[in-house]
Structure 1
């Protein structure tokens, strides 16, 4: 991560394990992240026309919102499709509109979405960029930061944690807490009380007969009588999701409209479509969720009859992904032609929207989202002969959405939106070749997360991907090992050095046995392992491994390859000053110029080489040269990452040293004061980085700091 008091183990400052891209764009300010996570808008498409038969639970929730007090946690539980989110949405609107509470909505279906959403809550409640960055980097507990700001909130709030069907995620991160400042509402399919200690559990079931009939009449008022609607509702098990799909179908028929009586007859004639409701209890033969498959199958049959086969194909393609917001940009690509002609994708999506088979949601970027019960049933019923092309197309779409060569940069929330879909696809795919392709995409996504400082998400995603890949491809498959290696690199960035060493050493040993010591994957793990060894204080081992990595990369990739140059740049901080001068016949000290000539002056590796070179010059007592070089590096980092990014603070700390060594003590104190203040805000006063920075600042202030010997 960052160097401590003496800036040793400064591999992080060199961008040491950054992947390479040939294109950089700089401006006067760091690039703003695209599509920021929005927690003020519920991730719900079309709200229910009328919420039927939920008066009792809504009144209980409203009673808690009327007062200024907080501290309550409500858990709305029930089977998939019963309308838990609709209840939460209606209460959200009432709490914000009638009672003036700040409404905060977070998707809790997976770890990445939950963490991103909760950090967006912290930002909404006043957390600054430095604090958020430290939480994403794993430098401070993210949940503590969020609840600290919720507790301090000047206005009462409502926090909805939607689709928390894996409550262990909430428990592992200690994300679910109560606060006197607000009310928490959780929607989940998991009702076991041990998951929700201290919470008020509220079951949300199917609708009574009369209310279910009213829902159908609300959605399709001209399709039949109340009694006919009641008969159809009974046939659909009075499940709100099934009623919504049926009502959407009936309301959209124009040329040859169906009556409710006709719809009921077709349901009686239909064959049951197998349904998997993940996260809930096993389905009985009478379970109303079975009827969801019948409702959408009738809709798809109507699509085929009307010449809208593309809508059917698009829904089956969507079923390869997760029931989470999917950026529309993922679908708007030429790669979709394998399933739906791109020119017909708009009309196909519109047909699905009209029939309530998917919804548009806005989470800072426009997305499509379908219900999990629907997607599971559609996926299970997809014709076997179509599955390979569906899987291949889904992989290609995600492949096009993930940066081809991830590079360091500011936080990009679009990457987080892709995580649940990438993992869902990896779970769906069964064919080994498609599984391998999907695993390669997910691993590259973890690299992209890593590059933007999302180390926890990178580790969790890489670990999950490796486990899923192992079940399909085997523990020693090249891509499974590559995913494990990425997990080890993320552990290193999280400061979990012993775990990182164990994992990377194991992966390297298997890769060396399977592919040989000069294989690029083996060498990549070697580079990651030497970073860990250097930070564990085992410098001689790290140097030996790094030399072997450089030699291997020279042979495998060539001396001008960015990865070869990157490994050479690491030597600048790992070698003692006296050995730097003699290394490689004296050529190591000219490495920044070589990188600039081969890669360009703004390349990631070039900037890292300049940073490390400045450290070497500082140790050699060449303070003027080090100071000049660091000024350029610091400015580049500030423009690219912003002032709170660890690598920018690391460069600024070293710049304060060179300023002090040249006798500009006032400027050195000002620079280090800013570093300490930013670290204190981001990580707290007692964090080792903050303490080390404060010690250096105290030395500057007392005039006791002496430059290192030349």
Structure 2
């Protein structure tokens, strides 16, 4: 007899009566589902060498198991890469070795792993084969079986449910319970308390600076100093996963070992390659687990958003990734301009989803803000599809653009402005498209103007300087927006009392603007107006006056005689001209300029107040002390009411008021006013600022009897 069989077929030959019973299974044996190899050992990719920080959390966890208590459930939550599993692993080892607990470890990352792992737990605690088979075949409630044997365990236990980022899996199967026989610990990215009724939530965040540096040195002890390690740790946002990967990379280099300093330079060279550099520390011999690489770990959550029908959450996270890892005012996310990236009506749900997944958090820094981790944002930005980037960039620019006034005016300190600075600079670094880069730079420069006009000259200078430097690399040194940013930096340097630096910068910028755009260009005239202020304070009155006259003419010709900038430059003539020149200027009409400003701009306009301030100075110089005193008293009160007593212009007006008081014979009152001015300037500008020094000299003249009013010095 001939027989033939293929693949897994069989041929039987028999004589006599035979009974053959055979079970056939078709498919790949390797794909047959099975349980975990062990529930007694944690399934972690890379156990921590030493767990840094986390002392309070571990003490709280250990307190329960040491006392022999049961019935507790702890949820360790936080963003991906913060070391939740590392904390659970360390606690797991302590519970076994120090407290005599039976340790049980189950992956809860998906339904199949959770079910298989929990049934393996039941088997470990004494469940019989028939019971397990019935549970696997759906003939018996699987979770009831597991918890039946956990409740009746003769030994106290610790059960860890790791990576439970889909808590609905636990809820739907009723897998998460408590038992007097042991303690449950869950690690998850999901922070909403509604998922964890009855459990104690413990947030796992980034590490303190010193401990973060020690993680690097634990892994690569010879790569650099503690101080260098702290700098790299800050650059990595003190995220445990990033620190572990960086330390692993440094420890793996054999032929050409890297130092921490070299690693830091590479991190700063190209933000697009930053995430790839960090992920080089992953163990090349182990399977690629997304949770063990910063470039992939958050993709799990983004995939979950898509599966749950929440693409807006992904879009919002990609939009946030255009900004900085600093508090971002929520008001920016509630504007119509966001519609280009995601529907405004869906922004609330998208933000809640990010909060629930620990991808961002709410912080209150005087304004309600959202804040995300820097490595997360870098990772998301690097993985954002190229086709989505232009819309995201233009949306981010528009959101910043409407976040503060289009025409910044003098005013008191506004905390919102400082919050926007890192986001404007981060966006400027991310954007590649030249027109969008120019738009972003213009917004950043206007933000510097707004800071300047609140009297925050340090922030104004830092913002303008940083924006100009970034813009120059992207757009070239002679781009209009780059020159405008440099000009604004020069204006801030002047207000900081750094006259020589301000003069050099404004001279260079004005020369370039004059060559490229012409003498009557608005940007050229703006730089010239700022430069004349510097020259006047350097004692070069003639040069300042000649330049100011050219600005008055140029602005009158291009903007018109009634434009606020033209009126402002004309009012500056009242400061630079002598008493006799003021009377002769414009056929005697210059002293009437404040009234003209009242009529054209209104009495409370900043330019109007400035014109009254300057006329009070001109009246004082001409010996008309009563008129000057009345005018500057009103200006001082208006400034203090509108801008606050510490505002630089308010202090300048108060200084002039002290002069008019003294000129009218009230020297003691003048000294009291100047004492207040000097104290406030020392606090806000510093003791060595030229304005502070000049104020101290005037106060000394008052108190020593050396002071004389104008016209009486001889």
Task: Name the TM-score class by shorter chain.
Answer: 0.5 to 0.7
Which residue does the alignment assign to 2:280? 284
Say whether 1:224 aligns with 2:104: no
| Structure 2 CA distance for aligned equivalents of residues 641 and 358 of structure 1 | 36
Report the Cα offset of residue 513 of structure 1: 1.2
Contact (CA 8 Å) 2:318, 2:380: kept in 1 or not?
Answer: yes
Task: Return the match for 1:586 from 582, 585, 588.
Answer: 588
| CA apart distance, 1:59 | 6.0
Which of 331, 346, 349 is 1:347 aligned to?
349
| Equivalent position SS for 1:360 | strand
- Going from structure 1 to structure 2, the CA distance change for 1:368 and 1:56 (only over 3 Å counts) comes to closer
Partners in 1 of 2:57 and 2:383 — Cα distance? 39
1:468 aligns with 2:473: no
Cα distance in 2 between the residues matched to 1:366 and 1:556:
43
Instruction: Return the offset for 1:674.
Output: 2.8
Correspondence for 1:487? 489
Candidates 517, 525, 534, aligned match of 1:532: 534
> C-alpha separation between the residues in 2 aligned to 1:581 and 1:502?
33
Residues 106 and 114, structure 2, Cα contact 8 Å, conserved in 1: no
SS in 2 for 1:484: helix
User: For residues 274-327 of structure 1, what are the alpha-carbon distances to aligned partners after superposition, in whole Å with 9 as ceiling and x for unaligned?
Assistant: 995859965416268863443332322232232211111111111111111111
Match of 2:19 in 1: none
SS in 1 for 2:626: helix
Q: How does 1:434-473 map to 2 (within 5 A)?
A: 434-473=436-475
Partner of residue 507 from structure 1, selected from 487, 497, 509: 509
Give aligned pairs, total: 503
DSSP 3-state at the match of 2:363: strand
Cα 1:681–1:323 change in 2 (3 A) is closer
Number of the residue aligned with 2:367: 365
Q: Alpha-carbon deviations, 1:433-468, whole Å to 9, x = none?
A: 111111111111111111112212211211111121
In the TM superposition, residue 607 of structure 1 has moved relative to its aligned partner by: 0.6
Contact 1:657/1:668 (CA < 8 Å) preserved in 2? Answer: yes
Whichever of the two has the greater Rg, that structure is 2
Cα offset for 1:666?
3.8
Q: Note if 1:668 corresponds to 2:670.
A: yes
Structure 1 CA distance for aligned equivalents of residues 505 and 419 of structure 2:
28
- Check whether the contact 2:541–2:576 (CA below 8 A) recurs between aligned residues: yes
Bigger RCO of structures 1 and 2 (CA < 8 A, at least 6 apart): 1
> Counterparts of 1:613 and 1:478 in 2: how far apart (Å)?
35
Whole-Å separation in 1 of the counterparts to 2:446 and 2:434: 18
Of residues 387, 394, 397 in structure 1, which corresponds to 2:396? 394
Quote the residue 1:413 is aligned against.
415
Provide the C-alpha distance between the structure 1 equivalents of 2:505 and 2:691, rounded to a whole number of angstroms: 26
- Equivalent position of 1:110 in the other structure: none
Matches within 5 A, 1:3-42: none
Residues 670 and 460 from structure 1, CA distance in 2 versus in 1: closer, same or farther, beyond 3 angstroms? closer
CA deviation profile, 1:488-517 (whole Å, cap 9, x unmatched) = 111111111111111111111111111111
Q: Secondary structure at the match of 1:401?
A: coil
Structure 2: gaps (5+ residues): 1-47, 60-78, 95-102, 121-159, 177-185, 190-269, 284-289
Q: CA 1:282–1:586 in 2, change beyond 3 Å: closer, same or farther?
A: same
Q: Deviations over 1:69-106 (max 9, x none)?
A: xxxxxxxxxxx97549x99xxxxxxxxxxxxxxxxxxx
Question: Residues 223 and 539 from structure 1, CA distance in 2 versus in 1: closer, same or farther, beyond 3 angstroms?
Answer: farther
Change over 3 Å in CA distance of 1:289–1:632 after alignment to 2? farther
Contact 2:305 2:313 in 1 (8 A): yes
Three-state SS of the structure 2 residue aligned to 1:367 is strand
Q: Measured at CA, do residues 647 and 311 of structure 1 come closer, stay the same or move farther in structure 2, by a change above 3 Å?
A: same
Give runs of aligned pairs for residues 655-694 of structure 1, distance below 5 A.
655-679=657-681, 689-694=691-696
**Secondary structure of the equivalent of 2:478?**
coil
Cα deviation for residue 561 of structure 1 reads: 0.4
CA distance in structure 2 between the aligned counterparts of 1:310 and 1:702, rounded to whole angstroms = 71
Measure the CA separation in 2 of the matches of 1:255 and 1:604. 64
**Residue deviations 1:335-377 (CA, integer Å, cap 9, x gap):** 0000111111101111111122221122222111112121111
With normalisation by structure 1, the TM-score equals 0.64
Query: 1:155-304, aligned counterparts within 5 Å?
Result: 224=114, 247-250=164-167, 278=274, 282-284=278-280, 286=282, 291-304=293-306
CA distance in 1, matches of 2:352, 2:317: 11
Structure 1 unmatched runs, 5+: 1-51, 64-79, 88-203, 231-242, 264-273
Q: What is residue 621 of structure 1 aligned with on the other side?
A: 623
**Aligned partners of 1:448, 1:245: CA distance in 2, in Å?**
49
Q: In structure 2, how many angstroms separate the alpha carbons of the residues matched to 1:647 and 1:424? A: 32
Q: CA-atom RMSD, angstroms?
A: 4.1
- 1:13-68, Cα deviation, whole Å (9 max, x unpaired): xxxxxxxxxxxxxxxxxxxxxxxxxxxxxxxxxxxxxxx997664669999xxxxx
Q: Is the 8 A contact 1:565 1:605 kept in 2?
A: yes
